[in-house]
Amino acid sequence: MLTLDRLTLTQGDFRLDADLTIQTGARVALIGPSGAGKSTLLSAIAGFLSPASGRILWQGEDITATPPGERPLSILFQDQNLFPHLRLETNLALGLNPKGKIDATDRARIETALARVGLEGMERRKPGALSGGQQSRAGLARTLLRGRPILLLDEPFAALGPALKSEMLALVAEIAREQGTTVLMVSHDPEDARALCPQTVLVAEGRAHAPQETGPLLDDPPPALRDYLGS
């Protein structure tokens, strides 16, 4: 369980409060108007922003002061953060250890992770020799390899066309289910939330609300969300 315990986040004049729990293995969308604080909330969970007050707990353990690299999570951003001059195997190895050294066990794990996302045999390719969809898959393979229990997604597939995007969302859902991963995803597209996330945290008017069922929320949105969705 991920607990945001009376959390207050500030950035300049901006303030966001969150007091909620997310069940282990849940897939949760963060939805709300532009500037409402969705990315701010992910940054705090990832450890890039220190809360003004309150605590963040994972399985009851306080991780509020834990450095980002030691938190039980992986992050997938839109640009996949792949190093263009390095082969995929080295890019993935960097997810395992910062020096990127690969022993035989790591090599086998990397091959398995690439195969899992449909990039079998592409260990020696560099990102520039991959299509956009393949680069997304490589980014996902790297987070997969890290095997962390929480996956944070910030508009990860926004640059992909609709067919590729839904394919990637389906792949994330499948892998998350297999591994019991808890997923939090910021998205501007309500259809992404419907596709991947049974639950949604509404971020609006200075508050991140407790998770609620995605379908009913989007079918009958409260005013703060209705304006944003344009429905």
| Residues contributing to the site for ligand ATP (CB under 6 A) | 11-12, 14, 32, 34-40
**In this complex, which beta carbon is closest to ligand ATP, that of residue 44 or of residue 110?**
44
**In this complex, which beta carbon is closest to ligand ATP, that of residue 73 or of residue 93?**
73
Q: How far is the CB of 218 from ligand ATP (least distance, A)?
A: 16
**In this complex, which beta carbon is closest to ligand ATP, that of residue 40 or of residue 214?**
40
Q: 28, 192 in Cβ contact below 8 A? A: no
Q: How far is the CB of 19 from ligand ATP (least distance, A)?
A: 18
Task: Give the number of other Cβ atoms within 10 Å of residue 69's Cβ.
Answer: 7
Q: Are strands 14-22 and 207-208 parallel, antiparallel or unpaired?
A: parallel
**In this complex, which beta carbon is closest to ligand ATP, that of residue 9 or of residue 26?**
9
Phi, psi of 229 (to 5 degrees): -75, -15
Structure tokens at 134: 């393949």
Q: How far is the CB of 54 from ligand ATP (least distance, A)?
A: 17
Q: How far is the CB of 167 from ligand ATP (least distance, A)?
A: 24
| 158 three-state secondary structure | coil
DSSP 142: H
